[in-house]
Each structure stands twice: as C-alpha cells, then as structure tokens.
Amino acid sequence: MVLLLLVDLDPDLAALGPLGGFFALRTTGAPTEAPPPLPTLAQVYENYGNHENHHNHGNHGNKAAVEYAYSMAFRIEKVAHALHAPELRIAASIAQQGLAARLWSVALGCAALYDRVPDLDPGLLHWDPDAGAPDDLWLSAVRPLPADSETLADVVLHGHLRPLTETLHARHRVARGLLWGNAASALAGTARQLETWARAHGRSDAGARARRITAEVLAHPLLAGTGTLTGTAFRRRSCCLYYRVPGGGLCGDCCFPRPPRSSPHATSG
C-alpha cells in the first residue's frame, strides 16, 4: 500500500483524506481572500478573550458581519441555535469539544500514519466560524515536527486548548474540569477511530503508535485525572452537558449512568 511508504509529511497531507472529515485538513487555497478574510485561531483566541461580545444575536447566517474579535462568539451562538441549547455555556462546551476533536484528529492521525506531526501553530491555522461540523480548517504552511507525545501536547494542549479553556471558563462559566474532560474525550475518541481504521487496513504500526501516544498524552498534567483509559475505551469523570440539549442524551464515555435531573443553573465539571 502507498501509505506504508510514507515517512514524512507531504504538502497536501493526503494520507488523512481516507480517514474522514475530522481528519482531513486543507493546505491549499486562499482563506485570507474569502469574504470576509477568515481569521487564524491565534486571532480568535486573543480577541475573544479580550473583547466584549457585541455580535447581533439574531444574525446567525451572515458571515460577512462577523469580525475577528467576535468569531468565537458567533460560532457558539451558531451551535446554540442549531441545537436549541437552553444556555450558551452548553453550546460553548459542544463547540470546544468539536474543535478539540478536529485538532486531535489531524495531529494524532499524522503521528500514526506519517510518524510526523504538522505544526498547528494557531497563527498558521485559519478557521471558518460559519462552517458546519466538523470545523473547517486551513493550514497555511506544512512544517513537520516530531511525532511524540510531548510535541502533541505542546501543539494541541498548550497551543490551542489551554487558551480556549481559560476564555470559555471566564466568558461562559464553563468549568475547567469539564473542558479538559472534553479534550480528553476527544483525544480518546480519535484514537479509537484510528485503531478501527488501522485494523481494517492492516496498519498495526499506525494503531500501535496512536494507542501509545494517546496514553502518554492523557497522562499529561492538564489531562491527568479527567478519566480512565482501558485499552481503547475511555470513561470520563465529567459531562459535556449534551444531555441538556432537547432530544440529547449521554455520550458513550459519560460519567453519568443516566441523564441527571438538574436545575437550569446546575453545572457539571
């Protein structure tokens, strides 16, 4: 198979395509020329943490009206509108978990298939807040890094999820423990998908790399204590709040055996 010959990142990260939409990453095109120019995640994290949200709550479809400073607010409101979430903090949790899943998928997928990781510096990664799921991302330069757990933690946890966690905690009262639980759950879910793909395609090497790196990253201080990993199964110690969405239920790795009864202002983390 061609994939067996891959030893370094190719400019298109073509090996990720067969894994599905959460793994594939655009590396071509001109996101800065889109109407309006799409922000980098560095701009999103910085501006959402520093500015009040003046976005028009009723304008869910007009991407041209969304400024860099309010693109994360726009995304959270879009998720809330789609899910009929009773609180923005629920949508903030779901939006954060979706972005975490995309970042882990690209990083861990490349680590498993290429034995390299692309530099996902927030300043290189453009993001469309008005896209559907999974989050639509463009990487403006493919710069290979070592495929070890320390690099993955630096690229995803410190580069993206730490600033996003602090901002969502401050802006939407989402518990830090809940958000780190989302991050761990997204990582474990990515590893399970990679394991399934690797088994089906005779890539035991890729599956083994994904399992090893996942276990090591889950032991990182930011994720340690978020749940228990048994083989490829993960049981988290927090809840993402999806059960509070109309028609929602519990995720497969939820800490709750059944949806809890809670007051409208109860939190879980």
> How buried is 69 (Cβ within 10 angstroms: 0-12 exposed, 13-18 middle, 19+ buried)?
buried
Dihedral, CA atoms, 159, 20, 129, 26, nearest 10 degrees? 70
The pLDDT value given to residue 1:
36
Q: What is the number of domains present in the chain?
A: 1
CA 266 to chain centre: 25
Domain membership of residue 157 (yes or no) is yes
Beta bridge partners of 144: 118
The pLDDT value given to residue 65:
35
Domain membership of residue 253 (yes or no) is no
Nearest to 23 by CA among 238, 221, 210: 210
* Cα–Cα distance list, 219 to 25, 83, 238 (Å): 27, 33, 17
The pLDDT value given to residue 7:
55
Instruction: Give CA–CA dist 106/262, Å, rounded.
Output: 36
Domain membership of residue 147 (yes or no) is yes
Domain membership of residue 153 (yes or no) is yes
Domain membership of residue 268 (yes or no) is no
Instruction: Give CA–CA dist 25/22, Å, rounded.
Output: 8
Domain membership of residue 265 (yes or no) is no
Instruction: Give CA–CA dist 175/179, Å, rounded.
Output: 7
Domain membership of residue 264 (yes or no) is no
Mean pLDDT of the chain, nearest integer: 87
Dihedral, CA atoms, 123, 147, 223, 119, nearest 10 degrees? 0
Low-confidence ranges of the chain (pLDDT < 70): 1-7, 29-36, 49-69, 262-269
| Structural domain containing residue 221 | 2-244
The pLDDT value given to residue 258:
87
Domain membership of residue 251 (yes or no) is no
Rounded to the nearest 10 degrees, the angle between the axes of helix 162-172 and helix 88-114 is: 170
